[in-house]
Structure formats: C-alpha cells, structure tokens
Structure 1
Amino acid sequence: MRSFLPVLAACLLAGCAATTAPVDTRDQFMSTLQGMCAQRFEGAQAYAVDPKNDFAGKKISTQVVCTAAGVRMPVLVGEDRSRTWIFTRGPAGLELRHDHRHPDGTPDAVTMYGGMAKEGGTARSQSFLADAHTARLVPGAETNVWTVSLSEDGNVLRYRLDRHARPRAEFVLKRAPG
C-alpha cells in the first residue's frame, strides 16, 4: 500500500484524471442514419430559387438503405429514379456524394459531387462543404453547403442546399407510414 501512495500523490499533483475520448458528432450522425435503415420518407420541395425547376410540384421520396460501405438514399422525384445520396464515414471524415444515373444505369456526366462534413454538426444534423471535384464539375458550386438533418422525433428529414451563403433549395420529407 505504501508504494501506491507516492504514485497517487504524484498523479494528483500532475493533474492525472480519468479522461474520456471526445464524442465525434460525425460518428453519431452515421449512427443516427443507420438507425433509420429501411425507413421511407415522402414529401416535396419546400423551397427553390427557381420555382419552375425539375422538382416543382412533384412528390419526392427516399428509403434509407444501409450497406457495409455506408448509407444510401435513392431519391425519387416523381417517377425519376436517377438520384442517390450516399453517406460514408472513412478516415478522412463523413462524406456526402450525389450519384446521378441515366435510366440504363450509366453515370451521368454530372455525378458523385458533394463533400465532407464540416466541424460543428450534431448527431441529427450535418453540413457538407463542396470539395474541389464538385467545384470542377459544377460551375458556381464551389461554395455549396448541403445540410441534412433529422427532427428529434425522427419523423422529418430535411435536405437543404445553400450556395454563396444563400438558400438555393430545400426538401422536407416526412416518415411514411408502415
């Protein structure tokens, strides 16, 4: 017991304390998404800069599909099944990609754009900053910020796009019954 006391005293003087690893909200967000596997969400465009765009007046829906690589959300706009949001969590961080395909499954010329989650998100909301690939692929999109959030009760999924620090589009999808 005596040999333990000097070690304890030294530790207390040096500020030794039990520490816990900081919680990474990007991991929490992925966990939130994975907790939504197989859930369906339906809704519509809530806002758009151009009210006559391809989404105007159409039902928008998605179903959360969990894979070993991450979470995929195929987005249906009316009958158009060409879009998928892809979330992955790797060593570089939490990433959002937009996969666009032609009806035959081949990639669209504008596909796999997106970026990494920025600091300061939560377990229910993350914002993704456009990366260099996006800036090259989509003129004007170098300032894009996509924010994906889920309400506290898990019933409302929001997807918002800001460009040049101004709202550009927002979708509000509610959990579908069943």
Structure 2
Amino acid sequence: MQGTVRQLALAAFVLSPAAMAETESSQQIFWDNLTALCGSAFAGEMTGFSRPADDGWLDKDVVMHVRECNDQEIRIPLHVGNDRSRTWVLTRQDDALRLKHDHRHQDGSEDAVTWYGGHTTDDGRAWRQTFPVDAFSKALFLAQGLDASVGNFWSMEIRPGEQLFAYELVRSGRRFRAEFDLNRPVEPPPAPWGHDDATE
C-alpha cells in the first residue's frame, strides 16, 4: 500500500501546462503546484523552532494532508501526533492569496484563537508566497493577550525541483519552520477535528 501511495503522489506532482506558461503569474504557478498534490499526505519535521514554545512538537509525528481543493480554496490539515486541531486554509481572491488558520477542539468547536492569518501584498514568487498579518488577526491577538503575534508573517514554499513543501512563521524574536519531504508520501490521516467525517 505504501508503494502505491508513493507512486500516485509522485505521479500527481508535475507542473501543469498552465504553470509552465510564461504568462502565468507567480501566484498561479504556486497554486497549480500545490493543487497537483491534492489528496496526498506527507511527513515532515521542524527545521526552525523556539524553546520552550514549540517543545510540544519535538517528539511528535508531523503530517500535512492536502485534503480538499477546488478553484477557489485549498484545505491542508496539519496533524501533530494525535492532535488534529489545525487546518491551513488558502483562498484565492481577486489579486491576492489569503491564508487562514482554522483551529478546532476535539469536539469540533472553534478555538478562541482561530481564523487568523493574512493575505499576500504582491505576486510573490512561484515557489514562495508570504502572508503578512491582517487587521482582523491583529485585533484577535490583542483581545487574547497575544500582543507579540501582531507582527506575524507567514510563508509557504513549494519547490518541485527539490520535492519540498515548507510552512514558516516569523516575527521579531521568533522563527518557526516545518519542512515536508514530497518524496515521503504517507497514508492520509483521519479527518481534522470539526470536519463532517472526523471521528474520535
């Protein structure tokens, strides 16, 4: 089964004709390369972290699952051990990409700190898009006493030639980075908490 998953994932991860066209924007190429992974899950690890803030991740299996894709939205649950509370939600807007973080409790209810994120302010690069914190998220962070987070910048990278996907958070005094090896597809994990087909 593992071999079949690997073959299917690698076969899906190819540049589409649209992504190869010189007229395509960097955001379009990034989007096409990410949707080419839809349905696949990949193991990863932290390559940048802060202690003790990120200690809870250090001994856990980390898996991203490109679970749902359509023309306007991509949902990528992030599993940390048995914790299925996190989903990255990418949305296409008129001239930007938006990244939001959907955080849930095990019963499916929303966490007090959820739907934060930001949107791109330029076309970025075909292999990297950056999302500065938006006004909604700044207000949420301040209301929750998370003042340091109002300086957040999130980035996502997808590098076909290196078979790498990365998620990064940076702000003054903080850098978190997780990298996922696209040569290491794994069995898709259970649904994230709050999803209709999630189970205990």
Structure 1 and Structure 2 fold alike (TM over 0.5): yes
TM score, norm. by length of structure 1: 0.79
Q: Distance in 2 between matches of 1:63 and 1:135?
A: 28
Give the CA RMSD over aligned residues.
2.0
Of 148-157 and 87-96, deviating more is 148-157
**Which residue number corresponds to residue 75 of structure 2?**
72
Residue aligning to 2:154: 146
Q: What aligned pairs does 1:119-134 form with structure 2 within 5 A after superposition?
A: 119-134=122-137
Q: Distance in 2 between matches of 1:125 and 1:73?
A: 16
CA contact 1:113–1:137 (8 Å) conserved in 2: yes
SS at match of 2:37: coil
> 1: CA distance between counterparts of 2:166 and 2:52?
18
The structure that is helix-richer by fraction is 2
Cα deviation for residue 49 of structure 1 reads 1.8
SS at match of 2:161: coil
Identity of aligned residues (%): 32
Residue 173 in structure 1 maps to residue 180 in structure 2: yes
TM-score scaled by length of structure 2: 0.71
Question: In structure 2, what is the equivalent of residue 15 of structure 1?
Answer: none
5+ residue gaps, structure 2: 1-21, 142-146, 187-200
Partner of 2:155: helix, strand, or coil?
Answer: strand
Aligned to 1:104, the other structure's residue is in SS state coil
- Of Structure 1 and Structure 2, the greater strand share is in 1
* Corresponding letter in the other structure for 2:180: L
Q: How is 1:24-173 mapped onto 2 (pairs within 5 angstroms)?
A: 24-51=25-52, 53=54, 54-68=56-70, 69-91=72-94, 93-138=96-141, 139-153=147-161, 155-164=163-172, 166-173=173-180
Structure with the greater alpha carbon radius of gyration: 1
